[in-house]
Copies of this chain bind each other. A is one copy, B any other.
Amino acid sequence: MLQLLGKNAKKAAVLLGKAGIEEKNQALLAVADALEAKAEYLIEENQKDIEHAKQNQMSEALIDRLALNETRVAGMAEGIRQVVSLEDPIGTVSNMKKRPNGLLIGTKRVPIGVIGIIYESRPNVTADAFSLTFKTGNAVILRGGSDAIHSNTAITNVIRQTLEQCGVTPDAIQLVTDTSRETATKMMQMNGYIDVLIPRGGAGLIRSVVQNATVPVIETGTGNCHVYVDQYADLSMAVKIVDNAKTQRLGTCNTCESLVVHKEIAEKAVPAIVSALKAKDIEIRGDERSMQLDSYIIPATEEDWGTEYLDRIISLKIVDDIDEAIAHINRYNTKHSEAIVTQNYHNAQKFLDEIDAAAVYVNASTRFTDGFEFGFGAEIGISTQKIHARGPMGLEALTTTKYIIYGDGQIRS
C-alpha cells in the first residue's frame, strides 16, 4: 500500500512542480473555506477519537490537544489563509553568473518533491503540513498517530475533495491510514519515493526515525534549553526571562529546562528566581551549591542535566565563570535554544559565538524560537540538526535548488 502512495505522490509532485502560484493559492483558499463549511463533519469524526481516548484513559491535557471545535476548525482555516498570503519562494533564480567559458550558471529554487511527515496527536498538523508543502509545490504523505486517525482522515478527505473540485491532483495530500509501527518504519525507508522525512513529535518518535530511516531526515524538536544568568545580569530582567522561558508554556520544545547561574550573582539571583518559580509551582532540582542558597531546591542527579522535562520541573547549576557555563550548556543541550542574561558586552558576544545551538539569545526568552516569532509567517517545525535547515523552518526549508546552465555548445577540455 505504501508503495502505491509513493507512486501517486511522485506523479502528483510532477504536476505540482508545474503549478503556478495563482492556481496553488486558489486551491488553498478553497480548502480553507471547505474546512469551515464541513466543520460539523470534522467535529463529529473528531468525537470518535475523543471517545476512544477517554476509554483509554488519556490525560485531560492530551485530550485537549486532540479536540476539535468550531474555533479550532476556524483556526485551521485561518492558518491556511495566512499561508496563501506568504510569498512563493519557488522559481526564483539567484547568483546567475557568466563563467569565463561563456556558460551562464545560476541556481533556481524548486520544490523538494515528495515530503513525508510523521506526527503525533494534534489533528491541526494535518492541515498545517498540507498548506505549507502544497504552497511550495510538494506532494505530502502524512502519517499521524492512531489517536487522531478519524480526525486526520476526515481533514484529509475534505482537502482531497476540494482539490479535485479545483482541478488539482488530490494526491497532493495522502494519509497513511494504517497507524501500525511496522508501517511507520516502512515509511521511513521509502527511498526513491520520499525525498525528505520530517518527524514532528516527542523524543521517542524522533529517536525511532533517526534509528530506522534510510531516507533523508530533518530532525526536529526536542529542546533541553538553558538560560544562563551571568555575573553581570540585570537581576530583575533575569528573573522575568527565566520565569517566562520556563512557565509561559510548559510543553513546548523552546521552554527552558535548565538554569545556569554565575556564582558571583547566585546569592541574590537564586532566591529571587526561586521565589518566582515557586509561585508557579515549579520544582527546582539543583547542584549542592545552589541548595545552600535556598531550601526549596532539591538535589539534582546527573540525569537531570540532560532531561527535557516538559513539566513543572527545572534544573539549576551554579558555575564559576562563563567558560564553565558554555561548556556545561554545549555538553547537555539538544542544540535548540539557549539564552544569556548579561549587561557585559564581551560575555554577550562570547556566548553568541561559542554556544552550539540553532538559536542563541542575549537578554530574551528562549520561547521566541518559532517561525511566526521569527517573521517567517509559518512553521513546519524546528530543526535541531545542522544540515539543510537549522532552527524554525518556514517555506524555504521545504524547497531545494537546482543549477540551471545556459550554454552555446560548450564542451570540456
Q: Is A360 an interface residue (CB 8 A)?
A: yes
From B352, B360, B386, give the contact of A113 (CB < 8 A): B386
A362 and B97 CA atoms in complex are apart in Å by: 15
A244 and B390 CA atoms in complex are apart in Å by: 40
Interface stretch of the complex, out of A71-79, A116-124, A262-270, A398-406: A398-406
Q: Is A211 an interface residue (CB 8 A)?
A: yes
Number of copies: 2
Are B402 and A357 closer than 8 Å at their CB atoms? yes
A245 and B365 CA atoms in complex are apart in Å by: 56
Q: Is A186 an interface residue (CB 8 A)?
A: no
Q: Is A364 an interface residue (CB 8 A)?
A: yes
Are B364 and A391 closer than 8 Å at their CB atoms? no
B-chain residues with CB within 8 Å of residue A244 when the two chains form the complex: 411-412
Closest to A413 in B: B248
Q: Is A205 an interface residue (CB 8 A)?
A: no
Q: Is A409 an interface residue (CB 8 A)?
A: yes
Are A387 and B400 closer than 8 Å at their CB atoms? yes
CB proximity to B under 8 Å, residues A337-395: 348, 352-354, 356-365, 367-369, 373-375, 385-388, 390-391
Are A360 and B404 closer than 8 Å at their CB atoms? yes
Interface stretch of the complex, out of A125-133, A156-164, A212-220: A212-220
B-chain residues with CB within 8 Å of residue A210 when the two chains form the complex: 191, 214
From A211, A217, A218, A403, residue with most partner B Cβ within 10 Å: A403
Q: Is A407 an interface residue (CB 8 A)?
A: yes
Q: Is A166 an interface residue (CB 8 A)?
A: no
Are B367 and A411 closer than 8 Å at their CB atoms? yes
Question: Top 3 closest A-B pairs, CB basis?
Answer: A364-B407, A244-B411, A387-B388
